[in-house]
A and B are shown apart, each in its own frame.
Chain A
Amino acid sequence: VSRLVLLGLGLTTLVLLAGCGGDGAAVEYAGMVREPAPVVDAAALPDAASSGRPLPFRAAEDGLLLVYFGYTQCPDVCPTTMGDVRTALDELDPGQRRRVQVAMVTVDPDRDTDAVLTRYVHAFFRNGHALRTADAALLARVAREFGAGYDVTKAKDGTVEVAHTAHTYAVDDEGRLRVQWAFGTSPADYLADIRTLLDDTGQAQ
């Protein structure tokens, strides 16, 4: 038992050391920061809101790309998240707001047609990206890069059940996943983290 405790202490120390490392003062986020930051821009998905033009998972220069995996017939989790992110973005000043793009990836491309998905995303974000592919392998690959998971199962009675991880991801202009927020994050926490990320991105140049 004592060996286990010691091992535990050792691990804790390692984690603490890792947390203290890095360059300069640690930035505090309400969301989760993964180390090392996953690079997610190897693949691109067609943007139904832009005639299917592939959108790489990389923000415009000095910007942020917020990415969410969901589906439009989701009555609770997805619109809660979309609504709270919108509430946060509405608080940004116009100069900051222009630097943030939002993209929703549908995990239910059978039911979410290009038109349905675009309309849904645009109901929340006027210039939002509606990412949809019928290529299941491509969708799975993109989801894996982010660490997102989903299952779409069809019951005998025809009802479709969708299960999905419900994080919102912030990707920077180098395609790095900087912060991810769990479902239930408050608009105030999204806002604070997005401002920090924008300040950080702006200064990096």
Chain B
Amino acid sequence: MSTSFMIRLAALATAGSVAVALAATSAAATADAPMISGAWARATGKGQETSAAYFVIKGMGTADRLVAAAAPASVAMTTQLHKTVMGADGKMRMKHVMSISVPANGVVILEPGGFHVMLLKLRKQLVAGSSIRLTLTFAKAGKQTVRATVRKVGSMPGTSMSGNG
């Protein structure tokens, strides 16, 4: 086997992998919407006017931002993206955030005590076992709809906050 043949083979292989990589990139670019999983909302008691919804966002090839999360008007009149923060004074408060950044290939977890979708002016009781529709809007990837299961829990077992208990 001649050296020049080996080099040609290597060059061919390189060209091939570049082509594959390009194909993968373009495929990702068309299906770049962040992936949502584990969506849930907390059940409410009668007459309770607020609740929160949580989910996990998996970023794809390009960074994006979640800019809105809307519930049907029959469920909640208003929704806002919020982050619970603890001040230096030890007090916890909610910050209204304009967007939640999703890094490329990164994971953002909306969970109790952190980012959440605040559901305001609830129009109906959220009953455990039912589900609500959430329409999420990303700055680049546009809208997608997910169903959030209503759960009668505080934190969710298995999420990072509550450990693996």
Contact = CB atoms under 8 A, between A and B. Distances in A.
Interface in A170-196: 183-184, 186-189
Given A116-B47, A163-B87, A164-B92, A79 B113 contact: no
A186 B91 CA distance: 19
Contacts of A161: 93-94
Interface residues of A, number: 36
Contact of A75 (B52, B87, B90, B153): B52
Interface string A39-69: 0000000000000000000000000000000
A162 interface: yes
Contacts of A35: none
Contacts of B89: 149, 163
Given A75-B116, A76-B113, A77-B92, A85 B52 contact: no
Nearest to A81: B154
A86 B154 contact: yes
A79 B82 CA distance: 15
Contacts of A114: none
B50 A73 contact: yes
Interface stretch (B28-36, B129-137, B155-163): B155-163
Interface stretch (B12-20, B38-46, B62-70, B140-148): B38-46
A77 B47 CA distance: 18
Contacts of A74: 50
Nearest to B120: A75
Interface in A71-110: 72-77, 79-87
A67 B165 CA distance: 24
Interface size class of B (residues with CB under 8 A): 35 or more
Given A186-B165, A187-B162, A163 B93 contact: yes
Contacts of A186: 155, 162-163, 165
Interface stretch (A12-20, A120-128, A131-139): A120-128
Contact of A84 (B47, B87, B116, B162): B162
Contacts, number: 104
B119 A75 contact: yes
Contacts of B52: 75-76, 79
A79 B92 contact: no
B154 A83 contact: yes
A150 interface: yes
B84 interface: yes
A201 interface: no
A184 B161 contact: yes
B91 A123 contact: no
Contacts of A149: 89-91
Contacts of B46: 119, 123
B112 A76 contact: yes
30 contacts: A72-B48, A72-B49, A74-B50, A75-B119, A75-B120, A76-B52, A76-B94, A76-B112, A77-B92, A80-B42, A80-B113, A80-B154, A83-B152, A83-B155, A86-B154, A116-B47, A119-B47, A123-B44, A149-B90, A164-B91, A164-B92, A165-B92, A183-B86, A184-B162, A186-B165, A187-B155, A187-B165, A188-B163, A188-B165, A189-B165
Given A82-B154, A84-B162, A163-B91, 7 more contacts: A76-B118, A79-B52, A120-B45, A164-B91, A165-B90, A165-B91, A189-B165
